[in-house]
Structure 1
Amino acid sequence: MIINCGPLSGFTQARYVVYLSTGKRLVLFRLPSIDPSASKPNEVDGWSYFAMEAECPHAGGPMVDSQIDIEDSAYVASCPWHAYDFNVETGESSVGIKACTYPIDVQGESVLLNFPVEDGSVVELAKIEPVSEKVKLKNARPSQKLAPAPEKAVDPGMARYLDDKATLCDWAVHILDTANPEHKIELTTHLFSIFTEREKSDSPMELGRGTVAAPEEQPPREKMIELKAGAMPRTGKGGTLKSRIAMLHALANIELWAIDLAIDICVRFATFQTEKTSQELPRAYFHDWLKVASDEAKHFSLLRARIEELGSYFGALPVHHTLWLSAQETAYDLRARISIIALVHEARGLDVNPMTIQKFRNSGDDPSVAALEIIHHDEITHVTTGHRWLTWICNEEDTDPVEVFRSNVSKHFRGPIRGPFNEEARLEAGMDKRWYEEESPSLVAASLMISPFMMYE
């Protein structure tokens, strides 16, 4: 059946996530036409439109994060997990498996998706979300396009890059030791970029397992007023400009710590081996967490830029370091770290994000809504990453990941996990109700009483 995805003028970015009423997700690409002289139904004004399934048919990797290349005069999308490549028009792959693709027809001002159905069933468009690929760097290198800086901004100088011989763990420690937030987000996105590029070459980046230790001290912060979480001032409900700035500032602080957490999980557990089977973490593990770190850097940059657009700046308000306290609590065990950080704190973010977004929507703050919606979509994939790697460890160790998760929650939190839960987003991330339903009273404080995602409300 034909599904109208919306007006042509609404498609201005390179990729979008298409949500259908059946729960199916697709990724829609808008790419420069390889041969503009050709006349095809999916091409108009020098742009070509393609749609394919959002999950890689090999292992479920997120095709929305795929690398796009041109091979044999056709676009090819490579899965970020295992580099399986698929022609975005035909779904054909060099590895023998095929992805589902769906024809796009641009008719006048309408972008139409041809989606197959059976037995006359009806499938409707639920929503379409753009995927942001831009990090708003304030102090970019000369070869990069500079974003405008506030008039009172102090130039922190250029971030220090490591040389080509540096290992992933060298980079990770360097980023953790970097206090300036602009340098931190630049270094993080750069590391993910070069690690990904070198994965496709004959000289992948050395991991450096065990060659450098993760810092034991809390990552430094530059000119920030730190308070204990319980002493943080209330931010209000977003009805005033002051309240919205406070909420965005609190969220930006969370995202900045989230960068450190995703980087730390790479270096601190680089030598991890599974029990009994002694399996090392595969390179895909490090790629996945660097992707999370890069996303968090993007999120911080979006929030910091929005705070400045509203007339303030990051650092104008006090912050807390509750997330890092959870990192210290779980520094001894990767299973505990994933359970608490990804599957409690990040998952709780999925629960509260829609309510936060609605507060900004009620205030008519559409630019903030756009940024927060990008963040919410990305963070579903971050919970997915935690779920995937805890499950991998448990599969290797012949243990039940739900039981391992619940055991770690009971060890590292006190008190009774209450809702409301965003069941749809949690399920999309792999967490069905077995992970959080109230069978055990020790699960409650993990999301309600201690999670920093509630601190700004």
Structure 2
Amino acid sequence: MSTIDLGPLASFSHSRYTVILSNGKRLVLFRLPKIEPSKSPSLAPNETEDGWTYFAMEAECPHAGGPMADAHVDIEDSAYIASCPWHAYDFNVETGESSYGIKACTFPVIVSDGKVTLQIMHEKSLSLSRMDPVSEKVKFKHAPRSSASDAPVYLGDDATLCEWCCHILNTSNPEHKIELTTRLFSIFATREQTSSPMELGAGSVAPPDKPRRDEQTKVAPGAMPRAGRGGHLKSRIMMLHNLANIEQWAIDLAIDICVRFATFQTMAPEQSLSRELPRTFYYDWLKVANDEAKHFSLLRARLEELGSHFGALPVHHGLWDSALMTAHDLRARISVIALVHEARGLDVNPITIEKFRKAGDMDSVDTLDIIHNDEITHVTTGHRWLSWICEQEATDPVEIFRSNVKKYFWGAVKGPFNAEARLQAGMDARYYEDLGGADWKGEIIAGG
């Protein structure tokens, strides 16, 4: 048996966490309120004195691999039941039993001496590789709709993935864009495990040269007002507004990569070995788009909580300039957008979070922590798919990345680098040290 230290009890504040072990196994840890007062004078091993209980189970639904970290949790017969978001298979979080006759693996959690540990039977010498809080859900802005025109237009059941993507790119209302993006990911993920997956529609429709936008004051990236150091409210609002603008563009970038490169084929050494993109490529980037929609919604909500709103300040379109420069080549698009802009976000996010922490704005800190953890996985997605393409084409992903940055990224890739977060995403120092792009004197945009 392996006993794995998950950390001090005082550090647990979220309702669920993803746990990755040293052997690559993924679990989900639930932190849930006790359903009813215990009749025993002593606590159960997984209970705390302040009324919380801890449960751990496998992260993939045993039915079809759905993400149990996103499960809907209910109480039935004095027990917590987690239902898979894909097909609603239900599992008792303590026993793993399901009304469908299958069983999920569950693992004992022990709370003792101010720390939380996990027990894995029949495995020796396992350790914790990483544990992340599961992000909050999208914060929709559902005010009463004054007319049918206030609602987003959903496509029919026969609409293809590419038609959905173009529809989202041509949607200017950011609230509608959020709703459509989350709906598309839900539909695609759910149908992917059925006998009628969504048709891709590769090549049947062309994406717009530029996504539509509501009327806002637009300036060049270098002309954006300086946000300052976050010591006062106006400064923090400016920083959150800048980040919200980047996240809105990031939705479109993740959607655009699905439709713009739907006809992509690898250039293998032997033409007969060339491959189309697998369907998991589209799932991964729709997941990124879904995350970006969530990020925008969290930032927009936080702006409103602080007395402002998205659109109150100028915005820039700098991220889309990079998209235009790489619209001809998927390798270049991934290199510049995912592995430069988004990876740069990994470098600056901790600095930004610390500014909000020093200002005592812990609600914003929580939001920015969510975004930072998600963005590590987004860089991982970019690294994974650039590596996959290079594997098919018998090329070196580091060399392909660096050559594309030198051609299509404006400016040097400057530090300081968050080497730990970059390495978690698969990028070691060979990718980014001593790397300069095209000649450019403007701002380098971080995030996405």
TM range (shorter): 0.7 to 0.9
Deviations 1:260-289 (A, max 9, x none): 000000000001011132201011000000
The offset of 1:413, in angstroms, is 2.8
Partner of 1:318: 314
Partner of 1:375: 371
Partner of 2:360: 364
Which of 214, 222, 226 is 1:230 aligned to?
A: 222
Take 1:128 and 1:233, find their aligned partners in 2: how far apart are those partners? 37
Which of 433, 436, 448 is 1:442 aligned to?
A: 436
Which of 175, 182, 185 is 1:189 aligned to?
A: 182
Take 1:237 and 1:386, find their aligned partners in 2: how far apart are those partners? 31
Q: 1:223 to 1:444 in 2, by over 3 A?
A: closer
Deviations 1:199-230 (A, max 9, x none): 121111111111111112x2111121110111
Q: Does 1:339 align with 2:339?
A: no
Unaligned runs of 5+ in 2: 98-103
Counterpart amino acid of residue 226 in structure 1:
K
Take 1:279 and 1:126, find their aligned partners in 2: how far apart are those partners? 33
Counterpart amino acid of residue 201 in structure 1:
T
Q: 1:282 to 1:21 in 2, by over 3 A?
A: closer
Counterpart amino acid of residue 29 in structure 2:
L
Partner of 2:109: 104
Counterpart amino acid of residue 340 in structure 2:
V
The offset of 1:108, in angstroms, is 10
Take 2:152 and 2:329, find their aligned partners in 1: how far apart are those partners? 32
Deviations 1:234-277 (A, max 9, x none): 11110110000000000000000000000000000001011132
The offset of 1:9, in angstroms, is 11
Partner of 1:149: none
Which of 226, 246, 257 is 1:265 aligned to?
A: 257
Q: 1:287 to 1:127 in 2, by over 3 A?
A: closer
Q: Does 1:49 align with 2:51?
A: no
Q: Does 1:114 align with 2:107?
A: no
Counterpart amino acid of residue 368 in structure 1:
S
Counterpart amino acid of residue 179 in structure 1:
S
Which of 177, 198, 209 is 2:170 aligned to?
A: 177
Deviations 1:420-440 (A, max 9, x none): 1111100100111111122xx
Q: 1:387 to 1:126 in 2, by over 3 A?
A: closer
Counterpart amino acid of residue 298 in structure 2:
L
Counterpart amino acid of residue 208 in structure 2:
P
Give the aligned CA root-mean-square deviation in angstroms. Answer: 4.5
Deviations 1:286-328 (A, max 9, x none): 0000000000000000000000000000000000000000000
Mapped contact 2:300–2:309 kept (Cα < 8 A): yes
Q: Does 1:285 align with 2:287?
A: no
Counterpart amino acid of residue 436 in structure 2:
S
Take 2:349 and 2:19, find their aligned partners in 1: how far apart are those partners? 20
Q: 1:403 to 1:308 in 2, by over 3 A?
A: same
Take 2:293 and 2:184, find their aligned partners in 1: how far apart are those partners? 11
Take 2:94 and 2:288, find their aligned partners in 1: how far apart are those partners? 28
The offset of 1:28, in angstroms, is 1.6
Take 1:255 and 1:221, find their aligned partners in 2: how far apart are those partners? 13
Counterpart amino acid of residue 280 in structure 1:
E
Which of 301, 319, 325 is 1:329 aligned to?
A: 325
Take 2:350 and 2:363, find their aligned partners in 1: how far apart are those partners? 15
TM-score normalised per structure 1: 0.78
Which of 266, 273, 290 is 1:274 aligned to?
A: 266
Mapped contact 2:28–2:69 kept (Cα < 8 A): no
Q: Does 1:161 align with 2:193?
A: no
Tell me, what secondary structure is at the counterpart of 2:172? coil
Take 1:365 and 1:128, find their aligned partners in 2: how far apart are those partners? 24
Unaligned runs of 5+ in 1: 81-85, 93-98, 143-152
Give percent identity, aligned residues only: 61
Take 2:232 and 2:147, find their aligned partners in 1: how far apart are those partners? 28
Q: 1:415 to 1:166 in 2, by over 3 A?
A: closer
Q: Does 1:243 align with 2:235?
A: yes
Q: 1:399 to 1:369 in 2, by over 3 A?
A: same
Q: 1:154 to 1:427 in 2, by over 3 A?
A: farther
Take 1:296 and 1:197, find their aligned partners in 2: how far apart are those partners? 19
Deviations 1:20-79 (A, max 9, x none): 999998642347999x99x98557989661055x899xxxx9967566899xx9989989
Q: Does 1:403 align with 2:399?
A: yes
The offset of 1:336, in angstroms, is 0.3
Mapped contact 2:54–2:109 kept (Cα < 8 A): no
Take 1:137 and 1:412, find their aligned partners in 2: how far apart are those partners? 36
Tell me, what secondary structure is at the counterpart of 1:164? coil
Tell me, what secondary structure is at the counterpart of 2:110? strand
Counterpart amino acid of residue 383 in structure 1:
V
Q: Does 1:28 align with 2:51?
A: no
Q: Does 1:348 align with 2:344?
A: yes
The offset of 1:371, in angstroms, is 0.2
The offset of 1:113, in angstroms, is 2.7
Take 2:295 and 2:416, find their aligned partners in 1: how far apart are those partners? 24
Take 1:201 and 1:267, find their aligned partners in 2: how far apart are those partners? 22
Counterpart amino acid of residue 135 in structure 1:
V
